């Protein structure tokens, strides 16, 4: 990791009172992984979540199994179960007093940074941490390749990971893909061969090897596990407190997003910039040369900048070159890479109609990109879109929809309302698209409606350009439902 040579004071969690704000629903996500990590450290935990006990049943069951294997059952506040462990729950709400009386607050990435409860913690000078601030403390010498961007970070991070595995490197993939680094911490091997250096916890990884000579430093008997990290703006927000950035940072692009959570676009970009803010002259920043916003922020970098041409394959190749991975290995990894689910993913063809799942397109720009990627089907696309607005501008998307789409199906929500409003502003020549707009209250209805409209050689594309928390658990639930109903079509 890159950052100041003086590390923060080592965090000690034994017998500390720790509030986990947001248990979360992902199997190996931040909240549940932190709970298990702190429990093993002997901390006194209070887990608080706005979701109810019923909504978090599977996560609670997993924790209880862990506690049972050790000392007994955990107690849900208000239940008749006896407290036999150091863990308590406050579910369906948060309590202000809990954020005044703790040693640490662990913040799930989904918790808004402007939460009034976090403001209470800050006022009482209680440290706010996440899984990556802990990881940097536990594994300071491991090489981290961080990947962020508004769109394409999951695909890029996964391809880099696949490339490293093809090169027979010890590597792992975690972060914003639903895998907290804490869930696999015991599998992340530390570099070996550096034991002779005193006070090892006070040194950065670049004091033992340089990236350009990675794999060639004979003083390292084992370079340890390379960590490929997909980093969202929420995860990067806390990096400013620990003053750490990955040794190799990749940014795919920067576009407007999450403006329902940020005051403005500058604040959103500022969090993204933490991926390189604390790098030094020996570190690397890999940037997409086709993104004008990245060209602007590049001026702020203290590290070595490597530009790549657009596609995620080229970002992965740039990493491969830095790590001296043979070109043939990189090309083979790219050739065999199958892509990720929910990213313009072809699901099936039925009666001459092709179905594509692009559920991870949660911004207007992302949906525009997908429409242009299917440009050879211009005028034959039935777009399933809309949902809840993130305070984004839908004007450009509205102008593109009539160019590419023969019909538009919208989920109910504030984003859909904005799309309709922008479509109404178009000239009469584009106005006929409104004659083919339907609104749907479920994925089943959306798929069935699209099927009725479709003709041979048409494309049915799920690309929401928004979130859908009013109808689905998350974008992955939305995509899974689309796949399920598409596969049931007869």
Which residues define the annotated binding site for ATP? Answer: 149-155
- Residue 81 CB partners (closer than 8 Å, separation 6+): 73, 74, 75
DSSP letters of 409-437? Answer: EEESSHHHHHHHHHHHTS-GGGGGGGGGE
C-alpha 474/C-alpha 468 separation (Å) is 7
DSSP run (H or E) holding 48: strand 44-49
Q: Exposed/middle/buried for 51, CB within 10 Å: 0-12, 13-18, 19+?
A: middle
Neighbours of 14 (CB within 10 A): 9
Nearest to 344 by CA among 173, 154, 164, 489: 154
Separation of alpha carbons 183 and 30, rounded Å? 8
Residue 38: which residues within 8 A CB-CB, separation 6 or more? 13, 18, 20, 45, 106
The 8-class DSSP code of residue 16 comes to -
DSSP, res 379: T
| Number of CB atoms found within 10 A of residue 128's CB | 20
**Contacts (Cβ under 8 Å, ≥6 apart) of 377:** 404, 457, 458, 459
The DSSP secondary structure of 309-355, one letter per residue, reads -SSHHHHHHHHHHHTT--HHHHHHHHHH----TTSSEEEEEETTEEE
The two beta strands, 244-245 and 2-3, are antiparallel
Say how far apart CA 32 and CA 20 lie, in whole Å: 9
What residue numbers does the annotated binding site cover?
149-155
């Amino acid at each position: 990791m890159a950052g100041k040579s003086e590390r923060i004071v080592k965090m000690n969690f034994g017998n500390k009172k720790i509030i986990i704000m947001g248990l979360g629903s992902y199997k190996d996500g931040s909240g549940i992984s932190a709970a298990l990590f702190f429990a093993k450290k002997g901390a006194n935990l209070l887990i608080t979540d706005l979701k109810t006990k019923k909504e978090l049943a599977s996560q609670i069951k997993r924790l209880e199994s862990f506690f049972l294997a050790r000392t007994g059952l955990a107690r849900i506040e208000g239940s008749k179960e006896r407290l036999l462990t150091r863990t308590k729950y406050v579910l369906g709400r948060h309590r202000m007093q809990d954020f005044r009386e703790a040693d640490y607050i662990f913040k799930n990435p989904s918790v808004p940074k402007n939460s009034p409860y976090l403001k209470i913690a800050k006022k009482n000078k209680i440290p706010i941490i996440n899984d990556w601030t802990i990881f940097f403390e536990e594994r300071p010498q491991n090489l981290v390749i961080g990947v962020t961007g508004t769109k394409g970070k999951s695909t890029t991070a996964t391809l880099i990971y696949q490339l490293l595995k093809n090169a027979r490197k010890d590597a792992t993939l975690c972060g914003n893909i639903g895998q907290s680094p804490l869930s696999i911490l015991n599998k992340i091997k530390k570099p070996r061969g550096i034991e002779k250096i005193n006070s090892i916890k006070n040194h950065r990884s670049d004091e033992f090897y340089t990236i350009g000579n990675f794999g060639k430093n004979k003083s390292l008997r084992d370079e340890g596990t390379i960590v490929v990290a997909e980093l969202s703006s929420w995860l990067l927000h806390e990096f400013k407190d620990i003053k750490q950035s990955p040794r190799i940072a990749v940014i795919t692009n920067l576009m407007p997003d999450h403006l329902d959570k940020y005051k403005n676009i500058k604040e959103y970009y500022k969090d993204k910039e933490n991926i390189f803010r604390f790098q030094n002259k020996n570190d690397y920043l890999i940037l997409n040369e086709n993104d004008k916003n990245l060209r602007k922020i590049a001026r702020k970098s203290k590290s070595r900048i490597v530009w790549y041409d657009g596609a995620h394959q080229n970002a992965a190749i740039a990493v491969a070159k830095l790590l001296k991975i043979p070109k043939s290995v990189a090309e083979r990894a790219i050739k065999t890479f199958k892509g990720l689910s929910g990213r313009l993913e072809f699901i099936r063809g039925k009666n001459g109609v092709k179905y594509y799942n692009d559920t991870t397109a949660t911004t207007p720009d992302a949906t525009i990109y997908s429409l242009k990627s299917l440009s050879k089907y211009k005028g034959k696309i039935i777009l399933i879109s809309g949902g809840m607005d993130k305070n984004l501008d839908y004007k450009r998307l509205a102008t593109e929809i009539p160019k590419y789409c023969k019909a538009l199906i919208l989920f109910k929500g504030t984003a859909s309302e904005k799309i309709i409003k922008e479509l109404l502003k178009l000239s009469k020549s584009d106005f006929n698209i409104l004659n083919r707009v339907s609104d749907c209250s479920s994925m089943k209805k959306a798929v069935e409606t699209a099927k009725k409209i479709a003709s041979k050689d048409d494309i049915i594309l799920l690309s929401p350009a928004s979130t859908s928390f009013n109808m689905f658990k998350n974008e992955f639930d939305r995509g899974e439902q689309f796949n399920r109903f598409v596969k049931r079509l007869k």
